Amino acid sequence: MTHTSDFSHAIWRKSSYSEGGANDCVEVADGHPGIVTVRDSKAPELSPLVFPVASWCAFVTQVKGRS
């Protein structure tokens, strides 16, 4: 998905599966209707990945089904 929003002021939260790790985390920014923005905490200066909500939910459902 192509998206041109400015995420420089986004508030990022770490995955609950990060187990408190300082830099080995997936981070998500909330507050962007219709999309899920994801980034790697080791490279916050890079553009985040942007997914439609439905695609992200399908991905998470599949991952949960494999654990």
What is the residue range of 56's domain?
12-66
Tell me what percent of the residues of the chain surpass a pLDDT of 90. Answer: 39
Residue 36: pLDDT above 90? yes
Amino acid making up residue 19:
E
Does pLDDT of 65 surpass 60?
yes
Can you tell me the mean pLDDT for 17-25? 68
Residue 1 maps to a domain? no
Decide if 20 is inside a domain. yes
Give the pLDDT mean for 33-37: 93
Q: What is the mean pLDDT of residues 28-48?
A: 90
Determine, yes or no, domain membership for 55: yes
Task: State residue 55's pLDDT score.
Answer: 96
**Both structure tokens of 20:** 């408190």
Total domain count for the chain? 1
Q: Which residues pair with 27 in a beta bridge?
A: 14, 39
**Cβ within 8 Å of residue 28, ≥6 positions away:** 12, 13, 15, 36, 37, 38
Please report whether residue 3 resides in a domain: no
Q: What is the model's pLDDT at position 16?
A: 74
Judge whether 28 lies within some domain: yes
- Of 10, 20, 17, the closest CA to residue 49 belongs to 10
